[in-house]
Amino acid sequence: MLPGRGRGSYKRERGMKKRLEFESILAGVADGTVDIKNAIHLLKQSGVEDVGFARIDHSRRARCGFPEVIFAESKQPAQIAVIAKRIVASGEPLLITRLNEAKFKYLKTKLPKLQYNAQARAAFLTKRAPGRQAGILIVTAGTSDIPVAEEAAVTCETLGYAAARLYDVGVAGIHRLLAQSDRLSLAKVIIVVAGMEGALPSVVGGLVEVPVIAVPTSVGYGTSFAGIAPLLSMLNSCSSGVTVVNIDNGFGAAMAAMRMVRLLEKKA
């Protein structure tokens, strides 16, 4: 906010600017200079709020089905706080990923209701619990893979989708996984998180007919090369159709899973 300008003045000016944008687009439809398809596209693109150091995309849900999420790594706490407050003011759920505890403590003073999952390194604020039983199942090979799996779970839950968890069922004791075959068969999308040699997604992919999203983690001894070894194993999976996201990217896996579920919901 600029010096000398009150919060109410800023809100009124921002609201007036947005109304003028909308009115201009609708006037174009009325006089025939803008066709309806293009008008819909322009309206979806018009919800960007410039706060100086960032442009907050309030129209992302309209385009992509999900709101903007804050990636906290390398951002200053004060910057995160400004963006977070604007997202909350817009009425969307707030999700902040890759957030350390020091930054969370600062943000908690600005947003007292903000919650934190230390394993996932994610903070979140939503008005309601996840209500959609989406059939998303998150599986880990080992306990050391849980932080990445929790990032995926928190992402799903904050954005409105329930996520089931099945942890520590890796190939070193394959009977643990096979004993859960009923849970695997009930899932609509399965996220499989694994480090070391990254074999678990291939095994799961050979057991189910639903999409499998593989997440390599940086867990393992030296020759795992901080996740490169499981990444390459997953990319070379002999189970057809296994999709792979980046190393430690639980967030990306969750977003992919929710997009798949949204398609199923539209067809239902």
Residue with the two structure tokens 């947005």: 18
Rounded distance between C-alpha atoms, residue 88 and residue 100, angstroms: 20
Q: What is the mean pLDDT of residues 205-234?
A: 96
| pLDDT classification of 15: cutoffs 50, 70, 90 | very low
Rounded distance between C-alpha atoms, residue 66 and residue 93, angstroms: 10
Q: What is the mean pLDDT of residues 244-249?
A: 98
Per-residue model confidence (pLDDT) at position 27:
73
∠162-88-60 over CA atoms, to 5°? 70
Q: What is the mean pLDDT of residues 203-226?
A: 95
Taking the domains of the chain in order of start, what are their residue ranges?
1-44, 47-127, 132-263
Instruction: Reply yes or no on whether the pLDDT at 80 is more than 50.
Output: yes
| pLDDT classification of 130: cutoffs 50, 70, 90 | low
State pTM to two decimals.
Answer: 0.82
User: How many Cα atoms sit within 13 Å of 225 on the Cβ side?
Assistant: 6
CA quadruple 159, 161, 167, 173: dihedral positive or negative? Answer: negative
| pLDDT classification of 198: cutoffs 50, 70, 90 | very high
Q: Which CATH code for domain 132-263?
A: 3.40.50.1970
